[in-house]
A and B are shown apart, each in its own frame.
Chain A
Amino acid sequence: MATYSLANERLRALEDIEREIGAILQNAGTVILELSKEKTNERLLDRQAVAFTASVQHVEAELSAQIRYLTQVATGQPHEGSSYSSRKDCQMALKRVDYARLKLSDVARTCEQMLEN
């Protein structure tokens, strides 16, 4: 299960990189917008430009690390296993448990009403 969470962490890291790419484009847009004004706010301009450069370098480093990791651990053939069926069966079992709990609570409520009457 630890390896499963490790793989999920890598996927989360890739999702963070995606968000950072969006932030990079937003920074670039802010810088160009600021340049188009007659009176530019230099501090904001510098800050956004530095953020843009730092984000680009960070994205490059992260993606290079991911590609390096994949070079080390990639298998020869893509796998064909799936945990979908067992996950579905487990979900159905949990739904059965919830349903049984619901019905038992109904019976308990009925018994309490009978006792009150």
Chain B
Amino acid sequence: MAQKRVLPQSKETLLQSYHKRLKDDIKSMMDNFTKIIKTAKIEDETQVSRATQGKQDNYEMHVRASNIVRAGESLMKLVSDLKQFLILNDFPLVKAIDQHNQQLRALQEECDRKLTALRDQVSIDLYQLEEAYYSSSSSLREANNLSLCEAYWRLDLDTDAADGLAAPLRASLEPSAGPLQSAAPAHSHASGPGPTEHA
């Protein structure tokens, strides 16, 4: 037999209120439904005229149907409150959150570990692929259409070793100086009419 747990007063009061709400809503639904069914019965003898009785029954049915809908909505609200209470206060669920955290972290670390190993493997293979690719098709391509690494290597072979790092830097600057020089006159042409227009 389960022992009666001692909950804080607020929690126990809250659960009792849930129970009361459930009973009230169910009772309201059943009573209003049975009353509607009873009211649908047409009686021969009425105290008022038939039209008046009909109007009264119509209004009563409207009110009872609204009560049923209100009770249904109240039940939905109760279910929502129960869900919230379950998420916040269910002890096994609270314990499971830590386990879930650990499992997710373990999965993430494993993914990252495997990605790191994959990265190392792919970088080795990629180096070999690049060598094969550039050595096979470098003769077909023009001299000024070389990849940056190929241009660097060629310049490195051509220039004197005493120049050190300056030669690659100069070589990297020279091709880029061309486009910049071509862009600068265009920019001056573009900016030329500007001030005159404003003036």
The answer to whether A3 touches B37 (Cβ under 8 A) is: no
The answer to whether B108 touches A90 (Cβ under 8 A) is: yes
How many interface residues does A have (CB within 8 Å)? 54
Q: How far is the CB of A61 from chain B (nearest CB, A)?
A: 10
Of the candidate stretches B48-56, B64-72, B147-155, the one touching chain A is B64-72
Distance between Cα atoms of A32 and B94 in the complex (Å): 46
With a cutoff of 8 Å between Cβ atoms, the chain B residues found around residue A66 in the complex are 82, 86
User: DSSP majority for the B interface?
Assistant: helix
How many interface residues does B have (CB within 8 Å)? 59
The answer to whether B97 touches A82 (Cβ under 8 A) is: yes
Q: Is residue B75 contacting chain A, with contact meaning CB distance below 8 A?
A: yes
The answer to whether B65 touches A32 (Cβ under 8 A) is: yes
Tally of A-B Cβ pairs under 8 angstroms:
159
User: DSSP majority for the A interface?
Assistant: helix
The answer to whether B85 touches A70 (Cβ under 8 A) is: yes
Indicate with 1 or 0, residue by residue over A34-76, a CB within 8 angstroms of chain B CB atoms. Answer: 0100000000000001001100100110011011001111111
- The 4 A-B pairs of least Cβ separation, nearest first, read A7-B93, A93-B111, A4-B96, A3-B96
**A-B residue pairs in contact (CB < 8 Å), sample of 17:** A1-B103, A3-B92, A4-B100, A7-B87, A7-B92, A7-B96, A10-B86, A21-B79, A22-B72, A56-B29, A60-B26, A67-B22, A71-B7, A72-B5, A75-B89, A90-B105, A100-B118
Q: Which A residues form the contact surface with B (CB < 8 A)?
A: 1, 3-4, 6-7, 10-11, 14, 17-18, 21-22, 24-25, 28, 31-32, 35, 49, 52-53, 56, 59-60, 63-64, 66-67, 70-76, 78-79, 81-83, 86-87, 89-90, 92-94, 96-97, 100, 104, 107, 111, 114
